[in-house]
């Protein structure tokens, strides 16, 4: 039984070095790519622009309205913006890499409600991000899981 502590230490070292238990490597550009949103109705391309990260709708499952015209931002509280197409619409703005695979200080626009929320993006692994939109503090909000397409 005297060798038990040695085995425990060796097991801990092996688990700590295992790729299955290793954190995703911190890379400020790791969220760049195309992401399928949780409801699978759209894809958002996250890219870097002027040192900050933004995200635009690049694909819609149903890009046209019942009238056959492209879907537009009808819920926007600014009447002048209600005619802008959803395809190409910027949803994510001003994100900066923080640490621990988190991007903060950004906003997310919800075209379903016409509202903009504070937002935090967390890279869970190389193919999954957690998008947390909130009002005030992160405690009051909603989280979505997006999966990488490309």
Is residue 39 a contact partner of residue 142, using CB atoms and an 8 Å limit? Answer: no
Q: Of the given ranges (20-34, 52-66, 101-115), which has the lowest mean pLDDT?
A: 20-34
pLDDT of 136 strictly over 70: yes
pLDDT of 140 strictly over 90: no
CATH number, residue 38:
2.40.128.520
12 within a domain of the structure (yes/no): no
Q: pLDDT-based confidence at 39, cuts 50/70/90?
A: very high
Domain range spanning residue 107?
27-148
Residue owning tokens 């994510």: 92
80 within a domain of the structure (yes/no): yes
For residue 35 the two structure tokens come to 């992401």
22 within a domain of the structure (yes/no): no
When pLDDT is averaged across residues 62-71 and rounded to a whole number, the result is: 96
Q: What's the predicted TM-score (pTM) here?
A: 0.82
Report the domain count for the chain: 1
pLDDT of 14 strictly over 80: no
How high is the mean pLDDT of the chain? 87
């Amino acid at each position: 039984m005297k060798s038990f502590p040695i085995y425990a230490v060796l097991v801990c070292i092996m688990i700590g070095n295992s790729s299955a238990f290793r954190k995703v490597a911190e890379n400020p550009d790791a969220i760049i790519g195309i992401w399928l949103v949780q409801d699978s109705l759209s894809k958002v391309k996250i890219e870097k622009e002027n040192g900050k990260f933004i995200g635009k709708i690049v694909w819609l499952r149903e890009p046209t309205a019942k009238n056959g015209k492209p879907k537009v931002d009808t819920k926007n509280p600014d009447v002048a913006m209600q005619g802008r197409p959803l395809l190409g619409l910027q949803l994510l703005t001003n994100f900066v890499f923080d640490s621990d695979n988190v991007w903060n200080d950004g906003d997310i626009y919800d075209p379903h409600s016409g509202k903009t929320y504070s937002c935090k993006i967390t890279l869970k692994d190389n193919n999954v991000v957690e998008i947390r939109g909130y009002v005030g503090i992160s405690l009051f909000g909603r989280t979505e899981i997006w999966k990488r397409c490309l």
